[in-house]
Amino acid sequence: MTRAELIAAVADRAGLTRADAERAVHSLLDVVRDALVTGDRVTLPGFGTFDAAERKARTGRNPRTGEAIEIAATRAARFKPSRGLKDALND
């Protein structure tokens, strides 16, 4: 599902105009992104939890040459589905 399809589905289910649904979806995504950037966790009961994970610096290998390279430490977004979402996927 693309962002445009998500906006159309939200507009249809919530009885909103496409413009209102677009603002709502963009606002939700902005709030989640801003929370992760500041180190907060976003928990949506029945859906799951978003948080930021720290990845340590490490040594990797260039697959073409086999040369060792240093990979810098980074932060990455992580999602853990709730039990309800897992159950819905497996029923």
Cα angle vertex 37, ends 25, 26, to 5°? 10
Q: Domain check: are 35 and 50 in the same one?
A: no
Q: Domain check: are 36 and 61 in the same one?
A: no
The domain in which residue 50 lies consists of: 46-91
pTM of the model: 0.79
Domains in the chain: how many in total? 2
Q: What is the CATH number of the domain that holds 83?
A: 4.10.520.10
- How confident is the model at residue 5, as a pLDDT? 96
Q: Domain check: are 65 and 87 in the same one?
A: yes
In 37-88, at which residue ranges do the beta strands (DSSP E only) sit? 42-44, 48-55, 58-61, 68-71, 74-81
Per-residue b or e along 66-75, where b marks 16 or more CB atoms closer than 10 Å to that residue's CB: eeeeeeeeee
Q: What is the pLDDT of residues 40-90, one digit of tens each?
A: 999 999 999 999 999 999 999 999 999 999 999 999 999 999 999 999 999
